[in-house]
């Protein structure tokens, strides 16, 4: 089975996100009011083959701890859906 996965990586709470702060400041300059805690992260998209969705999920979790995410400063969320190859 083939899966399309998306990993959303964001800075952990309490970790200074200078990029988020800069974006927040600029949005405020543009007139957007009531903004608070803008955080900038990244998305990693991938296609992968696995026996089932659970296996795909577990493989990506391992990828996150091995490389994609630094757990000291980042957190991640994974979404997986089956696709036709």
Partner 1 sequence: MKTAVVVFPGSNCDRDVQRAVCESLKTSVDMVWHEEERFSIQPDLVVLPGGFSYGDYLRSGAMAARSPIIKAVIEHAERGGLVLGICNGFQVLTETKMLPGALLPNTSLTFICRRCHVRVEQTDNKFTYGFKKGEILQFPIAHHEGLFFLPEDELKKLEDSGRVVFRYADPCTGKAGAEYAPNGALNGIAGICSEKGNILGLMPHPERATISHLNGGTDGIRFWDSIAKAFAERGAF
Q: Verify binding: residue 78, partner 1, rule CB under 8 A.
A: no
Smallest gap from Cβ 14 to partner 1, in A, equals 7
22: contact with partner 1 by CB under 8 A: yes
- How many C-beta atoms lie closer than 10 Å to residue 4's C-beta? 14
Per-residue x/- track, 38-77, partner 1 (CB under 8 A): ----------------------------xxx-x-xx----
Q: How many helices, marked H, and strands, marked E, lie in the chain?
A: 2, 3
- What one-character DSSP code corresponds to residue 11? E
Under a CB-based contact definition with an 8 Å cutoff, are residues 52 and 1 in contact?
Answer: yes
What residues line the site for partner 1 (CB under 8 A)?
14-16, 18-19, 22, 66-68, 70, 72-73
């Amino acid at each position: 089975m083939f899966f399309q996965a998306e990993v959303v990586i964001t800075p952990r709470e309490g970790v200074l996100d200078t990029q988020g702060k800069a974006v927040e400041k600029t949005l405020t300059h543009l007139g957007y009011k009531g903004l608070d805690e803008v955080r900038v992260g990244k998305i990693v998209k991938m296609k992968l083959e696995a026996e089932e969705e659970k296996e795909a999920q577990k493989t990506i979790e391992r990828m996150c701890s091995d490389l994609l995410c630094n757990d000291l400063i980042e957190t991640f969320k994974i979404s997986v859906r089956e696709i036709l190859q």
